[in-house]
C-alpha cells in the first residue's frame, strides 16, 4: 500500500494511505507513542483498502516533550488542523487510541462536520493509582455515531464506569468488548481492528 508523507497546520507531520473515494479518516495516537504503533498502521492500511484516505499523524509534542499538554488543549487545535486539511475529501471520521480518542471526543463535541468516531480504549481516568475520573459530560454534545472498543481488563476504562458514562450519550453508539488490556494485549488487537473496520465500512456514505 502506497503511503505519502504530508505536512499541515503549524509544522505537523503525517502519513496518508488510500485514494479517498469514500472520504477521509483521521487516526490519532495515544499519549505514550506516536503514529507508528502497529494498531494504527494496520487500521490505516485496512481503511485504505476500502477506499478511504487514512491520515495518521503525530501530535506536536512527539519528539519534543515527554507528554501532551494539560487537558489536551494544544492537541485539540492540532486535530482541528488535521480536520481542516482533510475536508477536501469530505467530512472526516475520527479514530483515536486512548489519548487520541479523548482529544477526538472534545473536538467532536464542538463541531457538526464529524461523520463518526471510533474510540480504541477511551481513557476514563489517568494512569495514577488514585486518579480522579474525568468529566465526560461533553459526550452528550456529540451528534455523530460512535463506536467504543474496550479491553475487558482495561485499567483505564472499567466496563461498569464506561456503562455509566454512556448513559449520557444522545447520539447512536455501539460498544464492543474484546479480551485484553488497554491496548488489547495479548491477543485481541486484530479483533479490535476488524470491529473498527467493519463498523466504518457499514456507515452510510
**HEC assignment per residue over 96-123:** EECHHHHHHHHHHCCCCCCCEEEEECCC
Mean pLDDT of the residues in the chain:
95
Q: Please report whether residue 174 resides in a domain.
A: yes
Q: Please report whether residue 70 resides in a domain.
A: yes
Q: What is the mean pLDDT of residues 165-189?
A: 97
128 pLDDT band (50/70/90 cuts)? confident
130 pLDDT band (50/70/90 cuts)? confident
Nearest alpha-carbon partner for 25 in 48, 53, 46:
53
User: What CATH number has the domain bearing residue 101?
Assistant: 3.40.50.1820
| Percentage of the residues of the chain whose pLDDT score is greater than 70 | 99
Structure confidence at residue 125 (pLDDT): 87
Domain containing 75 equals 8-202
> Chain centroid to CA 135: how far?
18
Structure confidence at residue 156 (pLDDT): 94
Q: Is the pLDDT assigned to residue 204 strictly greater than 70?
A: no
Q: What is the mean pLDDT of residues 112-132?
A: 89
Which runs of E-coded beta strand occur in the chain?
3-8, 12-17, 24-28, 53-57, 93-97, 116-120, 146-151, 173-178
Structure confidence at residue 186 (pLDDT): 96
Q: Is the pLDDT assigned to residue 71 strictly greater than 60?
A: yes
Q: Is the pLDDT assigned to residue 194 strictly greater than 70?
A: yes
**Tally of structural domains, the chain:** 1
Q: Please report whether residue 165 resides in a domain.
A: yes
Q: Please report whether residue 2 resides in a domain.
A: no
Q: Please report whether residue 89 resides in a domain.
A: yes
Q: Is the pLDDT assigned to residue 154 strictly greater than 70?
A: yes
Q: Please report whether residue 125 resides in a domain.
A: yes
- For residue range 1-23, what is the model confidence (pLDDT) as tens digits? 789 999 999 999 999 999 999 99
Per-residue cell: 57:
499523524
Q: Please report whether residue 103 resides in a domain.
A: yes
Contact between 125 and 133 (Cβ < 8 Å): yes
Q: Please report whether residue 156 resides in a domain.
A: yes
Nearest alpha-carbon partner for 96 in 17, 165, 171, 192:
192
Q: 200 Cβ partners below 8 Å, 6+ apart? A: 25, 47, 50, 52, 93, 95, 116, 118
Q: Is the pLDDT assigned to residue 95 strictly greater than 60?
A: yes
205 pLDDT band (50/70/90 cuts)? low
Amino acid at each position: 500500500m502506497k503511503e505519502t508523507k504530508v505536512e499541515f497546520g503549524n509544522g505537523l507531520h503525517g502519513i496518508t494511505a488510500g485514494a479517498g473515494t469514500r472520504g477521509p479518516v483521521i487516526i490519532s495516537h495515544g499519549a505514550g507513542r506516536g503514529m507508528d504503533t502497529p494498531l494504527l498502521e494496520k487500521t490505516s492500511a485496512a481503511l485504505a483498502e476500502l477506499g478511504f484516505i487514512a491520515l495518521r499523524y503525530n501530535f506536536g509534542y512527539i519528539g519534543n516533550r515527554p507528554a501532551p499538554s494539560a487537558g489536551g488543549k494544544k492537541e485539540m487545535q492540532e486535530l482541528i488542523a488535521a480536520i481542516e486539511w482533510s475536508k477536501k475529501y469530505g467530512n472526516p471520521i475520527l479514530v483515536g487510541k486512548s489519548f487520541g480518542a479523548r482529544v477526538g471526543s472534545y473536538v467532536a463535541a464542538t463541531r457538526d462536520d464529524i461523520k463518526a468516531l471510533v474510540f480504541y480504549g477511551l481513557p476514563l481516568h489517568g494512569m495514577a493509582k488514585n486518579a480522579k475520573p474525568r468529566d465526560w459530560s461533553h459526550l452528550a454534545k456529540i451528534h455523530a455515531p460512535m463506536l467504543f472498543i474496550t479491553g475487558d481488563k482495561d485499567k483505564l476504562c472499567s466496563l461498569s464506569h464506561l456503562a455509566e458514562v454512556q448513559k449520557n450519550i444522545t447520539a447512536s453508539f455501539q460498544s464492543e468488548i474484546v479480551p485484553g488490556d488497554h491496548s488489547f494485549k495479548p491477543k485481541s488487537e486484530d479483533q479490535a481492528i476488524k470491529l473498527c473496520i467493519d463498523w466504518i465500512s457499514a456507515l452510510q456514505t
